[in-house]
Amino acid sequence: MPKACANLTLLFTELPMSERFGAARSAGFDTVEILFPYDMPAPEIRRLLEINDLTLALINCPPPNYADGPRGFAAVPGAEERFRKDFRRTLRYAEALGAKFIHIMAGVAEGPEAEAAMIDNLRWAAAEAPDQALTIEPINRVDMPGYFLADYDLASRILDAVAAPNLGLQFDAYHAHRITGDVMGVWEKMRHRVTHVQVGGFPGRHEPVACDIDYPAFFTRLDRDGYQGWVSGEYHPAGRTEEGLGWIRF
């Protein structure tokens, strides 16, 4: 199985954020991701990563936590200055924390103008940070109403148009199932673009076990296809986090 990663925004939430790093390490993870780390000073997060010998896989753009605001601005016509300001702040965090990926969120928008805005913004971001790996992720519109990037053909079209070596696809099997009902089919079509994988059960978005998605088969497929990246648990534990981590041993 590829390398397991713990999403500290959703896992170990029975603990304060400062204690989740140690809990992840004790549970067997050596890599974590934090969707929105901006409520903690970067030096403190860096210290917690270092003392627990953890790598930071990914953070999201834009700050702050999207629960308090729009779901990104990359595809929002007229929001280019906001997008650039947010991206630069995220980039400073990524550089300070050694984050391998920045996930750029599209926001709520629709139509050809939104697609053109997202392409232009991604071209700018990829050129602004040529040494930073970036991702985009299709997200279903049940969980995130109105989200622009909710289609894999659209994601492919955008990636081809931007054509930046540091921009790839973030593949969330939960979203892939909710959008298409065919995780394996979407993986087959998109796997050459994928640089980061996330998993969660369906329905309920709990542990990736005993659910409508055949995760043992999916993990086997990742191995067969030679996927070398991380597989991050991005889900809401049904109980205590430690009780549901059997999936990392597939």
Q: What is the pLDDT of residues 41-54, one digit of tens each?
A: 999 999 999 999 99
Q: Which residues are catalytic?
A: 137, 234
* Sequence spans of domains, the chain: 3-249
Q: Which amino acid is present at 104?
A: I
In the chain, the percentage of residues whose pLDDT exceeds 70 is: 97
Give the C-alpha separation, 8 to 108, whole Å.
25
In single-letter form, the type of residue at position 144 comes to M
Cβ neighbors of 115 (< 8 A, separation 6 or more) are 75, 148, 154, 157, 158
Q: Which pLDDT value is given to residue 148?
A: 98
Tell me the C-alpha distance between 37 and 97, whole Å: 10
- The tally of CA atoms less than 13 A away on the side-chain side of residue 194 is 23
**CATH architecture under which domain 3-249 falls:** Alpha-Beta Barrel (3.20)
Of the candidates 243, 241, 235, the one whose C-alpha atom is nearest the C-alpha of residue 213 is 235
* Residue 72, pLDDT above cutoff 80: yes
Count of CB atoms situated within 10 Å of the CB of 108 = 17
Res 66 pLDDT > 60? no
Is pTM, for the whole model, over 0.85?
yes
Question: Does the pLDDT of residue 235 top 60, yes or no?
Answer: yes
Tokens at residue 124, please? 């700018």
